[in-house]
Structure 1
Amino acid sequence: MKEKTGFNPQSFAVIGAGPVGCIVAAFLAKGGYDVTLCDVIPELIEPATTPGIILEGAENLQQAVTRTCTNVDDLAANPPDVIIITVKATATPLIASAIESFYKEGMYVVSWQNGIDTELDIAKILGKKPVMRAVVNYGCGLVNPGHVRIPFHHPPHYIQELDPESAPATEAIAEAFTKSGLATSRTDQIVSMVWRKSVMNASTNPVCAVTDMTLGEALTDPFVSQAVRGLVKECIKVARGNEISLGWDYYPYCMEYMMGGGAHKPSMASDFAMKRRTEIDYLSGKIIEYGEQAGIETPCNTAIRAYVKALEAKF
């Protein structure tokens, strides 16, 4: 039986002031909500209150958030109704542990991240009831702190709770996103949606990172495009081996969607440029893990993960 609730979120905390976090924080603030933007790097959050976050491209907006902080623990002084995690997946367990220290019944935590099973890492610490997973459909890059370029935005976005009893709260959070300009719907197919997006990311992010190419360059190069196509097909095989539905026409849809990225460089390429640790373990690593579970070999993903790991080791 689903929980009856009058949950009406008014305060949000966004953890991570990268491009993804800045976008959701700016839109929620524009929607009239109390928004705290949190990041350990002071320079990233400094412009968020004055002059405000700047979005340009597919969306154009300048909006200040309510406040900023540099430590998740600082949120304990005035706990928000909803916490949205937008940091790199590798930091998820650490963030969830910090939230645990002030978590209280009725608070919800949304994984607004790339990668497979990020929400499960949160649930290992906080339990399933407060945890939700979102799939967002925009490309973005940080021009400067608080200044984001958005090459494309293809709403709606989707969100689902891990515990069915939290479905009413999911609906309320989706309504808040939609009211703010990020059209979002609750779904009961989030695993499929996460994989539909993650297959694309696993097939392009590491390739663009190691080649320093944009999506358009990688997909039109006669040799590199073969590597991307091989990764896509292998990921699809793994998904189907685990009975994860992608849809009968996913392959042509996937290739057409990725071609639309054009001059956009995926986030992993930016990570390489900044000599930061990547999310490869939540993309290729998860494909390999699920391949082993289904008895499916994954030579393409195993190879590309090895290349990324070898280059990361030199940072």
Structure 2
Amino acid sequence: MASLRFLMIGAGGIGGYYAARLAEAGHTVVLTARGEHLEAIKAHGLKVNYEGSVFERVLPAYNHEELTLACQPDDFDLIIIGLKSTATEPVMKELGEWLKQGSVPVLSLQNGVDNEALIAEVVGETRIVGGLAVRIGGHIVAPGEVFAEGVAQIVMGAWPNAAPNDVRIPLLQRLEAAFNEAGIPTTVTDNIRYELWRKLVINNGVNPLSALTRLDTRSLTHHPEFGKMVYGMMAETVAASKADGVNLTQQDLVEMFELISSFNAIKTSMLIDQEKGRPLELDSIAGAVLRRCEKLGIEAPYTFSVNALLRNGDGRR
């Protein structure tokens, strides 16, 4: 297969891991980062620790201003956004005019169900590929060095749905083959919004509660009281999906709870952000559920309570 050209916006734990995998497979990869992490990547390359293996790659890396001067959007076959969802709107303001100069598709690998809509406001729906990283945990452990663990699957699809003869379908087929050949288990779906909501069920079930309690996923799901709260927050997410016409079912709830309960003990990204004093992805996870429950006129007491406690500082103690 011919090599592809990727831009990874956000070379943190998740983005850095996938970028290193793609580069190892012979694809051209350019990174964006900031601060000490960026300077370390420029000086020494990117180091990724994954499941006992170490990937070290020297890759072009820029901050966003440098990127717009060094590259054109259509220098790439795909732009991947691996940033926290809290950064989606600011980055679209920073890079929006630059992105509009090209026609390259944009893949979001972020938490939540609202990122694709925010990106589409800038580049248009026909350029959006929705995606989710499944069963992966990762974070920056030192400048220029990231840690990742888990199966690290990707599910992607044309957003909000794939029309007949959709121009994105041939690219998705190429991406699916390229990612799998690079050791990234990847599938293409024709209903990406359904998959994004199923992931939100897990994210809302464990992320906010882990930040509040400082417990990992396994400790939460196997706790006699917190486990019930996890299930309750997941059930509220299933109910909220109806506001988007996705209509998850009891079966989805059972499957997602069983899945997260069988995970290894993983620190959620929100718990890591809490420990490091960084902004939490509350609005894109719990907030997304609460907004839709309000629209539907239904209560979400578990999500409301945990969200309120985190927003008012109890999780920082």
Which residue is 1:27 aligned to?
21
- Once the two structures are overlaid, the 10-residue window that deviates more, 207-216 or 149-158, is 149-158
Q: 2-side partners of 1:24 and 1:200: how far apart?
A: 21
1:128 to partner: Cα distance:
1.3
The alignment's TM-score, normalised by the length of structure 1, stands at 0.88
Which residue is 1:5 aligned to?
none
Q: What secondary structure is seen at the aligned counterpart in 1 of 2:136? A: strand
Inter-CA distance 180–259: structure 2 relative to 1 (3 Å threshold): same
* Preserved CA contact (<8 Å) 2:45 2:144: no
Q: What secondary structure is seen at the aligned counterpart in 2 of 1:134? A: strand
Q: 1:66 aligns with which of 59, 68, 76?
A: 59
- Once the two structures are overlaid, the 10-residue window that deviates more, 303-312 or 266-275, is 303-312
Whether 2:118 is the aligned partner of 1:121: answer yes
* Pairing 1:265-280 to 2, within 5 Å after superposition: 265-280=267-282
Inter-CA distance 54–68: structure 2 relative to 1 (3 Å threshold): same
- Once the two structures are overlaid, the 10-residue window that deviates more, 189-198 or 29-38, is 29-38
Task: Report % sequence identity.
Answer: 25
Which residue is 1:204 aligned to?
206
Q: What secondary structure is seen at the aligned counterpart in 1 of 2:302? A: helix
Q: 1:96 aligns with which of 92, 100, 109?
A: 92
Q: Would you say how many aligned residue pairs link Structure 1 and Structure 2?
A: 307
Across the aligned residues of Structure 1 and Structure 2, the Cα RMSD in angstroms comes to: 2.5
Q: 1-side partners of 2:118 and 2:3: how far apart?
A: 24
Q: 1-side partners of 2:138 and 2:85: how far apart?
A: 17
The one-letter amino acid of 1:214's match is D
* Preserved CA contact (<8 Å) 1:38 1:72: no
Inter-CA distance 62–191: structure 2 relative to 1 (3 Å threshold): same
The alignment's TM-score, normalised by the length of structure 2, stands at 0.87
Inter-CA distance 227–248: structure 2 relative to 1 (3 Å threshold): closer
Q: 1-side partners of 2:39 and 2:21: how far apart?
A: 16
Q: What secondary structure is seen at the aligned counterpart in 1 of 2:129? A: strand
The one-letter amino acid of 2:303's match is N
The one-letter amino acid of 2:5's match is S
Which residue is 1:223 aligned to?
225
Which residue is 1:159 aligned to?
157
* Preserved CA contact (<8 Å) 2:211 2:315: no
1:51 to partner: Cα distance:
5.2
Which residue is 1:4 aligned to?
none
Q: 2-side partners of 1:75 and 1:192: how far apart?
A: 34
The one-letter amino acid of 2:193's match is V
User: What are the ranges of 5 or more consecutive residues in structure 1 without an aligned counterpart?
Assistant: 1-7
Q: 2-side partners of 1:45 and 1:223: how far apart?
A: 45
Whether 2:172 is the aligned partner of 1:170: answer yes
Q: What secondary structure is seen at the aligned counterpart in 2 of 1:181? A: coil
Q: 2-side partners of 1:108 and 1:276: how far apart?
A: 30
